[in-house]
Structures are given as structure tokens and as C-alpha cells.
Chains A and B, each alone.
Chain A
Amino acid sequence: MRVTVGLVVNPAAARDVRRLTSLARTVDLHERVNIVARVLRGLAAAGVDEVRFMPEPCQVVERAWTSLTGNVPSAGRTPSLRPIPSPGPAVDSQGTVTAAAWLAEAGMPCVVTVGGDGTNRAVALGWPDVVFAPLPAGTNNAFAPPVDPTVVGLAAGLFARDDARHGAHAQVVPYLAVDVDGIPHTRALVDVAVVDGAWAGAHALWEPGLLVEAVVTRTDPTVTGLAGVAGMLDPGGGCRAIRLRFGPGTDVLAPLGPGHLAVLPVSRWEAIAAGEEVVVGGGRMTLAFDGERETVLQPGQRASIRLVDEGPTVIDAAALVRQAASDGLFRQQPGHGPWHGRRPSDDDESEA
């Protein structure tokens, strides 16, 4: 059985104006290549045969392959790499959307993503039922917990080989469906914010004074961005969706961005149930999705934001690998040669 996994790398993540407005790290090309190289090693060790990847102008995946197949001290396998067919390299988020749609069509068991919240959003737009193994390589990474890429690769590979066994560690997450004037417009995985002003500009959100309201799918005080703001208000909520309205009321100290702690006045917040619609509009405003300003609403336009329970699936790499370790999948008898992710049924003996 030939096991294939999808790989989407966003070469442009972690490079925008938040380098200036906050203490956001820069993930330069070298680091990105390194991350992908580690993923490929993990995938190979888990027994993945092939990786179908989205071509992009910086050729991060190709460079990672070169670095692995050159003279590297710890020689190891790498899966074979094949770009997905496309008219050209993906140069923007639409390219990511298209690539994700192709991976959906091709029936990939899962997709490893290297980018930030915006990257994952684009993948989910192209493939609403995608199974993700996300890596935090963007500015805000509310969606992707910090796990070493090597382990994410391992987890994704194990899942791809045996999703029945490991499926317990892949959770369906909700998303926000956004319609504008009754027409489906886009989706967001983490948050939709309503912002004063009518410009996408430098896209990122960093001026707290511009926030009008937000709907957030997760509350997590340990991450930066609006999910972190929600988490400061309702830390026990886990993945509970929340609607926030900004204005005089309660002042909340929260990390709006990396190193960027702001005091935000929150006038109201309430839990949002699936199917519930939040309607915004009336004046001229900008909608931001997963931390990036994008859509301008003119006066008279209405946008509705609806929480949908059944969105993409996210592999919890940490939990999956923990379970696999405790099941003895990573232990082998001495003398059995290089481990290559044998399934339990392949084992000669169970754990000693």
C-alpha cells in the first residue's frame, strides 16, 4: 500500500508589518526549509512513500529535499516528492485554495501545512473537509500548537498509514461561515473581526482602537491574537465560540500580537452556538479573517457570521504520538534493522 500525504507551505507567512508593530519573529527561508526538512524526516520514518506538495516561487520543499539528500550527517530517508499539477507556482492565497482543492480531489488522507492561521484558512477554503496537521510558522498561530515539526511529520505519517487506529486524535473543529449580502463569501478558522476603516492596507490587525467586534471560534489564553483576547475573558471555554463587542465596559489585558500586549475595552461578550448568526454592517467597515483585514463593507451591505460545528479536522500530533508511544509503536527488538513505522500487525512480537 502506497501512502501519500499532502504538503502546503506558505513562503510568505511571518513576514508582514507585524515585524514592526510587535515582536513577531521572522521565519526566514532557511528556517522554513528546515521546518519542512524535519517534517519530511518524520513522514519518512512513519513510512510515508510520497508527498504531493504545492509548488511556490521560493521552492521551499525542493530546497528541503536538496538539503536532505545531500551530505547530511544523520542520513535518513525522505519520501519521494511530487508537485501537484498547477499552471504555475502559487503566488498568493488563491493559489493555496486551488492547491487544497486539488489535494481534496486526489483524496489525500491528510495535509501538513507550514504557515500561520491565514495559510490554514486558505487550505480550508479550498478543501472544507481537510484533515490538517498544521505547523506554527506564521505570526499568529492560534490554530497550530507548538510541536516540533519532526513529530508533526511522524504523527501525520502514522495517521496517513492507519487513520482508523489514530483517528481518535484528530478532532473536527468548527469554523465561521461568512456571507455578504446573502452570498457565501468566505470562511475563517479562528476569528472574524469587524474593524473601523475601509482599507485592507497592510492587512494585519494591530491597532486596538479600530476593533469594533469579533467572533472567535476558540478561547485560549495561551495564544496571541483575538483567540487570546477571548481566552483572557473565558479561559475555561476550550473551543467554545465567543462573540466580543468592543467598547467601554471591562478592560482586558491580552496579547493582540507577539509581544504586543494591549488593554482592550470589551463591552459585552457571550457564547455563540452553532448555527447562530451574527449580523454586522450598516456603516463602512472592514472585515478581517483570521487576523488579516480583507473585505470592505460599504454602507447598506450586511455580512452574516455563522458558527458551523463541522469544519475541518485537526490532527493533535502531540496526543497521537503519545498514544503511539504508549502502544509501543516506536519500540523495536534489537537487530530488526531500521525502523520504518511498521504497523502493529507487522510486529513479530508485541512490546517486551
Chain B
Amino acid sequence: MPTDDVLRELHRQMVRARVFEETIQKAYFEGKTPAFDIAAGPIPGEMHLAAGQEPVAAGVCAHLRPSDAVTATHRPHHVALAHGMDMRRLAAEIFGKETGLGRGKGGHMHLFDPETNFGCSGIIAEGMPTAVGAALAFTKQGRDDVAVSFFGEGAANQGAFHESLNLAALWHLPVVFVCEDNTWAISVPKDKATAIPNNADRSAAYGIPGALVTDNDVVGVYEAAGEAIGRARQGGGPSLIEVETDRLLGHFEGDPQVYRSAEVIEGLQARDAIRRFEKRLADNEVLTGEAAAEVRTAAQAEVDEAIEFARSSPYPDAADALDHVFA
């Protein structure tokens, strides 16, 4: 059961992530109109935004320290920010600048931050073995850090998911697998891709507990993640949490979303988890509406400053492209 301070922090992390995604979205489309040219503008390439999925990141990362390892996916910003990544270096990397986390070499899907032990991958499910390896290292190094692997419901049909759960279970590793079930693997819904209704059940096939958290509820995530992470930290081994969440935007920015109707999208907006959470916070007198608005204002200021840092940072020298292949 989270304290009021924790509840307010959960809210703040969700709002920060949302404001970041909204602001990046605007910046992404600069230069790409009128005819969408994916290569144009200050942020070229693909952009996968996590608006709607903030409860998963906030609820899980609230239990983590910077030394806990986190791996995430092609849709990583909410997780990265909730785990404490420096927003300016994140923004600068997205803008491809020299001051970015990877000196502009990684981009938005390949973020690596030694300070928060964070990494992500654009290949579906392939961040899971990395998390297993981190957990393996922790047992050898005698640390009580844990590894958390975020992945989507689509990834649960990839071989790496099954291999990772089996190996983590076999070696009893301190890793928590968090499945963000937003229903859609690009355009294919879960019930057209997964043979069983819940990935929480699959963990039983590997002998580890799996729990389902419904309704994109940050407090439900917080409680379940607290149990799973605590269990791992105390040597109780791996577990899996499946969270029903919502992807409010398209798979990528520019996605015409022909596969889901306007009604469906409106329905998602209507059950926006941040708005619902704010209402309950107000009802419970934990955070008034005014205070919530102030959180948003502060978040926008932080995001604007980070984006400004990114815009004003220099690009790397072109010839730097040849550096850092080998240490």
C-alpha cells in the first residue's frame, strides 16, 4: 500500500513521462510535413511513444535503485525516465547530438546509461536475455541488485522470451519480467497472436509465479511489482508480472492506425490512466487538482529545458562515425 508521498511521486513520474512524449511528438513532426518524410526534421527515423503506458513504468521503477539493471524496448522513454535517466541526455540522444547518451550513435531505441544501469533494444524480446545476464552477474558479484526486463505482449511469442524465463527459473536468478500488454503488436491484437489469453499463465510453464494486474492501474502495478522485486531481492528468484495497459498513440509516429477504429482510440483516451488517477488522488485528498496542474507545469518546464539543451547541443563531427567500434 503506497504512502501519500509515494502516490504523489507515482503521479509525478507518470506526468513527466507523458509530457515528454507529447513534447517529443511535436518536435518529431517538425520538418516532416506536409508530406511525411521519415528522414527529415530534427528527429529522423522511427519514433515509438509510450503515452498511456506510464503506470507500468512508474509503478515498477518506484521500487528500483540506480544500480538495479533495467532493459526495455523500442518504446523506452517512460521506463528510462522513471528509472532516473537524465532527461537532457535522453533528449540529446533522440536529437542525435554529441551530448546524447550515446553521442548520437544509438538513437531513441538504443539508449544505454551506465549511471542508471539502463539499456534497451529495438529487437523484440532481445532485451530479456540481457536482463537475465545482469541478474546472473549480480549473483556472482554478491550484490542484492535485481534486473527488470520490460517487454510487450507481442514479445511473449518470441523464442527469447521462453529461453529467458526458463534460464532465469533454472538458475533462480533475481530478475523480474514485466509484460506491458497494450493489446497491439503494431497492428495485430493479442488474441490473433497468442494462443492463450494471459501471458501471466506462461510463467507457470517455467515454474515461476506470474501475476496479472488489470486496468492500467499504477497502484496495482506498484503493489505487484513491490512483491516481485522484493521476492527477487531476497533471493526468491524470478517472477513475471503482466500488466494490462493502453497504447494511446500509434505504434510509431505517423502510423495511420488503420487497424483500430476511431471509437477504439477514443475509448482509450476516455480511460486515460493519469486522468483517472488524478481524480482518485483528489477524492482521497492526496493531491488537489491545482497541485496536479502544478506538477504538469513543472514537468513541462523540465521537458522544455531538456529539449532546449538537445536543440542547442552540437551534432557530433561526421568522422566520429568511425569511432567507438572497438574499445
Contacts and interface: CB of A to CB of B under 8 A. Distances in A.
Interface of A: 11-12, 15-21, 26, 28-29, 57-58, 196-203, 207, 210, 284, 296, 298
A6 B168 CA distance: 43
Interface in B211-265: 211-214, 217, 219-224, 227-228, 231, 239, 241
Contact of B283 (A15, A57, A298): A298
A202 B204 contact: no
B200 A198 contact: no
Contact of B212 (A16, A29, A58, A207): A16
B211 A199 contact: no
Contact of B211 (A19, A198, A200): A19
Interface of B: 1-2, 191, 196-198, 200-201, 203-204, 209-214, 217, 219-224, 227-228, 231, 239, 241, 280, 283-286
Contacts of A196: 1
B196 A20 contact: no
Given A199-B1, A202-B220, A203-B220, A15 B228 contact: no
A107 B260 CA distance: 39
Contacts of B228: 20
17 contacts: A11-B197, A15-B201, A15-B212, A16-B212, A17-B213, A20-B231, A29-B196, A29-B198, A196-B1, A201-B219, A201-B220, A202-B213, A202-B220, A202-B221, A202-B224, A207-B1, A210-B1
Given A19-B200, A199-B219, A201-B220, 19 more contacts: A15-B200, A17-B224, A19-B210, A20-B209, A21-B227, A26-B209, A29-B196, A29-B198, A29-B201, A197-B1, A198-B280, A199-B280, A200-B219, A201-B1, A202-B211, A202-B224, A203-B220, A284-B285, A296-B280
Closest 5 CB pairs of A and B: A28-B201, A20-B227, A58-B197, A201-B219, A202-B223
B196 A17 contact: no
Contacts of A29: 196-198, 201
A283 to B, nearest CB: 11
A18 B280 CA distance: 24
Nearest to A27: B201
Contact of B227 (A17, A26, A28, A58): A17
Contacts of A26: 200-201, 203-204, 209-210
A151 to B, nearest CB: 26
A57 B197 contact: yes
Nearest to B209: A19
Nearest to B218: A201
Main secondary structure of the interface of A (DSSP, over half): loop
B153 to A, nearest CB: 14
Nearest to A23: B209
A19 B198 CA distance: 14
Contacts of A15: 198, 200-201, 210-212
A199 B220 CA distance: 9
A28 B211 contact: no
Contacts of B1: 196-197, 199, 201, 207, 210
Nearest to A58: B197
Contacts of B213: 16-17, 202
Given A20-B227, A57-B197, A296 B283 contact: yes
Given A11-B197, A29-B201, A210-B1, A201 B217 contact: yes
A201 B223 contact: yes
A298 B283 CA distance: 8
A193 to B, nearest CB: 14
Given A20-B211, A20-B228, A26-B210, A199 B196 contact: no
B240 to A, nearest CB: 9
Given A199-B219, A296-B284, A20 B201 contact: no
A197 B241 CA distance: 23
Interface centre among A26, A198, A202 (most CB of B within 10 A): A202
Given A12-B212, A15-B198, A21-B227, A28 B204 contact: yes
Contacts of B283: 296, 298
Interface centre among B191, B197, B198 (most CB of A within 10 A): B197
A12 B211 CA distance: 11
A11 B196 CA distance: 11
A198 B198 CA distance: 28
Contacts of B211: 15-20, 202
A17 B219 CA distance: 12
Given A17-B224, A17-B227, A202-B213, A284 B200 contact: no
A22 to B, nearest CB: 9
Contacts of B239: 19-20
A82 B163 CA distance: 40
A197 to B, nearest CB: 4
Interface centre among B196, B220, B228 (most CB of A within 10 A): B220
Contacts of A58: 196-197
Contacts of A197: 1
Contacts of A298: 283-284
Interface centre among A15, A20, A58 (most CB of B within 10 A): A20
